[in-house]
Amino acid sequence: MKDKLLWLYFAVVLVADQISKKLALESLAEGRPVSIVEGLFNLTLVYNPGAAFGMFAGLPDTQRRITLLFVAFLALLAVFYMLRDAKGDRISQVALVGILGGAIGNIIDRFRFDAVVDFLDFYWGSYHWPAFNIADSAICLGVAVLMFRMLFPAKSSEAIGLN
Size (the chain), residues = 163
The pLDDT of residue 156 is 52
Among 93-97, 151-155, 158-162, the minimum mean pLDDT is found in 158-162
The pLDDT of residue 159 is 46
The pLDDT tens digits of the residues spanning 11-58 come to 999 999 999 999 999 999 999 999 999 999 999 999 999 888 778 888
119 pLDDT higher than 80: yes
Residue 118 a catalytic site member: yes
Residue 109 a catalytic site member: no
Q: How confident is the model at residue 161 (pLDDT cuts 50, 70, 90)?
A: very low
87 pLDDT higher than 90: no
61-89 burial string, b = 16+ CB within 10 Å, else e?
Answer: eeebeeebeeebeebeeebeebbeebeeb
Give me the catalytic one of 17, 89, 109, 118. Answer: 118
The pLDDT of residue 155 is 64
Q: Is the dihedral of CA 23, 24, 29, 33 positive or negative?
A: positive
Give me the catalytic one of 17, 89, 121, 136. Answer: 136
Q: Which pTM value belongs to this model? A: 0.88
Q: Which of 17, 37, 18, 157 is nearest to 94 (CA)?
A: 157
